[in-house]
Structure 1
Amino acid sequence: MQWDGISEFVYVAENESFTLASKKMAISTAQVSRQISALEKRLNIKLFYRTTRKVSLTEEGRFFYQHCRSVLDGLDAAERAITNLQSKPQGKIKLTAPVTYGEKQILPLVNNFIKQYSDVEVSAYLSNRQIDIVEEGYDLAIRLGKLSDSTMMAKKLGNRANYVCASPDYLDMHGIPHSILELNKHSCLLGTNDYWHFRESGREKSIRVTGRLRYNNGYSLTDAALKGVGIVQLPDYYVQQHLQSGELVTLLDNYRAPDEGIWAVYPQNRHLSPKIRLLVDYLAEQLL
């Protein structure tokens, strides 16, 4: 009883016509009119201004419409979600990820994923540019660090740690820095940013570093550190194996910045399709 007339009301409000609403709902105009009249009587308010030429919402009607539209959207989303749970993942997924992290971590996992779901196709574009995934038609983006776009939905997939490290040969020759201020006495290997990030006395802190070498490539910076050229700050996936082997040594661990998030970001749709939801869940399971 409480739902009677709601759909008719929304259709009339959106079409500004009882006749158009009845055609779209495949019921008679008289039935639409009866349902709206009964709804107005039940609510004890006037929902529409009616003239021979136009139907428009009253102020109370506009307020009521906003809530009714949200309710119907929620019901539609719930129905689609249940249907999707029962359907087999299929179709294309277009995703983007940062270059190095994508090729080293994400795409190998995507390869495992598509082996499980033979009806899924994946197109991936690796770029360090912040891509507008809605404008450029992507289903999913992998982002690192702090998120700035609040219009997107996001799910955390894992964390990455940044390490300051150097080779034993470099430290034997130049000494070990025991505070972040001592970095100004050392040759720092620079990437695209002049600032390195730390945490001191419980607060995050960025300091400007200098050096005679700058690359926009993490593998080249790692190679320079391994060859004793200087000290570097890089994410774990560049240096972890060298730290484990002893080829590199971590420095300033007491000042290490908090781990950064790894995120799956996707448009703010009402629901995720089965293929996107399964891929995001799979990545989270493997990376957390």
Structure 2
Amino acid sequence: MSQWEGISEFVSAAELESFTSAANQLSTSVAQVSRRIARLEAHLGVKLFVRTTRRVALTEAGQVYYHHCKQLVSGLEAANSALTEMQSAVKGKIRLTAPVYFGENELAPLLTDFAEQHSDLQLDIVLTNRQLDIIEGGFDLAIRLGNLSDSNLIAKKLGTRQMHVCASPQYLAQYGQPHSLAELSYHQCLVGSQPYWRFSEKGAHRQIRVDGRFRCNSGHFLAMAAKRGIGIAQLPDVYVHQDLESGDLVELLLPFREKEEGIWALYPQKSFLPYKTKMLLDHLVEGLKGR
């Protein structure tokens, strides 16, 4: 038999001095309580109770055993309570990684709001454009942008972002505006971490290799260069939406614009998602909805 079998029934009967009261407390039958205590006594090779017609009383061995078992049951109850509290309160620590610019400009206000709402929560945030190993780095969440590679991680969509091909009015006045994907080869393209741009043509996904005299892995740098009239850039809306609204940048090749990409939260596969993490994910979804 299991070492734990009959312990709860024994402790309850010892405290209430009644198998019937113990059965009521544990929401089970008197027969089940009696059977499990009898099996426990047989397993231990001692009598734990003296039974009378009116009540049950602990034997000397039963009193010694109760003293120790009470601590075990109390510890188990405390452990269960701790898990229940964890699942109903946002407390503890969440370790998160995200791209630098997106983290600084989109996530920062959402994360600080969440931290202010939950004073018992500790946030450990690592902003980097490198895709860190979530398991090895001990992260609870990783925010990723765009298309995801296959992995054993769980992915939750937080929102979407749109890619824009754009240039300044002064660049277009000097070099003209491309109207087809082929015309990009005649223009100065501001190249990011990948040497190609993504488009949609007649419903099909296309990748066009681009080139130019400026190459940088910083979207902020490329957006600034585009505003200065140095070339054409393809960047997510987080970098350029204000400049497009103000007219400092002009969107190009709209008929070839690809569909919106996902903003994702990745987390390790677990049997259950901690309450604090679930609440943070819900907060990010709601916050990014209006971006």
SS in 1 for 2:224: helix
Residue of structure 1 in register with 2:2 after alignment: 22
Which residue identity is paired with 1:22? S
Whole-Å separation in 2 of the counterparts to 1:281 and 1:149: 24
CA distance in 2, matches of 1:201, 1:186: 23
With over 3 angstroms needed to count, the CA separation of the structure-2 counterparts of 1:143 and 1:271, relative to structure 1, is same
In structure 2, C-alpha distance between the alignment counterparts of 1:155 and 1:149, rounded to whole Å? 14
Aligned-partner residue type, residue 250 of structure 2: V
SS in 2 for 1:159: strand
- Is the counterpart of residue 142 in structure 1 residue 143 in structure 2? yes
Cα deviation, 1:113-147, whole Å, max 9, x if unaligned, reads 01111111101001121222112111111111122
State the SS of the aligned residue for 1:23. coil
Matched, 1:240 2:241: yes
- Determine the C-alpha separation between the residues in 1 that align with 2:211 and 2:132: 30
Shift of residue 211 of structure 1?
0.5
- 1:261 is matched with 262
Counterpart mapping for 1:28-39 below 5 A: none
- The answer to whether the Cα contact below 8 Å between 1:160 and 1:262 also exists between their aligned partners in 2 is yes
Partner residue, 1:105: 106
Listed as ranges, the matches of 1:45-64 within 5 Å are none
Q: How does 1:1-288 map to 2 (within 5 A)?
A: 22-25=2-5, 83=84, 87-288=88-289
Aligned residue type for 2:252: L
**Residues 218-262 of structure 1, C-alpha deviations (whole Å, 9 max, x = no match):** 111111111111100001010110000000000001101111100
3-state DSSP of counterpart to 1:108: helix
CA contact (8 A) 1:102 1:126 kept: yes
Cα gap change, 1:25 to 1:97, in 2 (>3 Å): farther
Segments of 5+ residues of structure 1 without an aligned counterpart are 1-20, 33-78
Structure 1 contact 84–274 (Cα < 8 Å) conserved: no
SS at match of 2:283: helix
Contact 2:99 2:143 in 1 (8 A): yes
What's the offset of the Cα at 1:264? 1.1
How far apart, CA to CA, are the structure 1 residues paired with 2:256 and 2:39? 72
SS of alignment partner, residue 281 of structure 2: helix
- Displacement, 1:87? 2.3
Identity %, equivalent residues: 51
Change (3 A) 1:142 1:86: closer
Contact 2:6–2:39 (CA<8 Å) still a contact in 1?
no
Q: Give the deviation of 1:149 after TM superposition.
A: 3.8
**Does the 8 Å CA contact 2:197/2:209 hold for their aligned counterparts?**
yes
Q: Is the 8 A contact 1:95 1:138 kept in 2?
A: yes
Q: Provide the secondary structure at the position in 1 that maps to 2:122.
A: strand
1: CA distance between counterparts of 2:98 and 2:161?
A: 15
Question: Where do 5+ consecutive residues of structure 2 fail to align?
Answer: 8-35, 41-79
Aligned-pair distance for 1:85? 8.2
Contact 2:87 2:274 in 1 (8 A): no
Determine the C-alpha separation between the residues in 1 that align with 2:148 and 2:39: 50
Q: Is the contact between residue 91 and residue 121 of structure 1 (CA under 8 Å) also seen in structure 2?
A: yes
Letter in 2 for 1:271: F
Q: Which has the larger radius of gyration?
A: 2
Q: How many residues align?
A: 221
- CA distance in structure 2 between the aligned counterparts of 1:223 and 1:105, rounded to whole angstroms: 18
Q: Which residue of 1 aligns with 2:22?
A: none
**Map of 1:73 onto structure 2:** none
Normalising to structure 2: TM-score of the pair? 0.71
Contact 1:191 1:216 (8 Å CA) reproduced: yes
With 126-135 and 157-166 compared, the bigger mean Cα shift is at 126-135
Q: Residues 99 and 129 of structure 2 are in contact (CA less than 8 Å); yes or no, is this contact kept in structure 1?
A: yes
Q: Secondary structure at the match of 1:271?
A: coil
Code of the residue aligned with 2:241 in structure 1: it is Q
Over 3 Å counting, the alpha-carbon distance change for 1:236 and 1:223 in structure 2 is same
Q: Deviations over 1:73-126 (max 9, x none)?
A: xxxxxx99x936862210111000011111111122100101111111101001
CA contact (8 A) 2:98 2:142 kept: yes
User: Amino acid of the residue matched to residue 182 of structure 1?
Assistant: E
Contact 1:158 1:284 in 2 (8 A): yes
Partner Cα distance (1:142, 1:192) in 2: 18
Partner deviation per Cα, 1:42-75 (whole Å, 9 max, x = no partner): xxxxxxxxxxxxxxxxxxxxxxxxxxxxxxxxxx
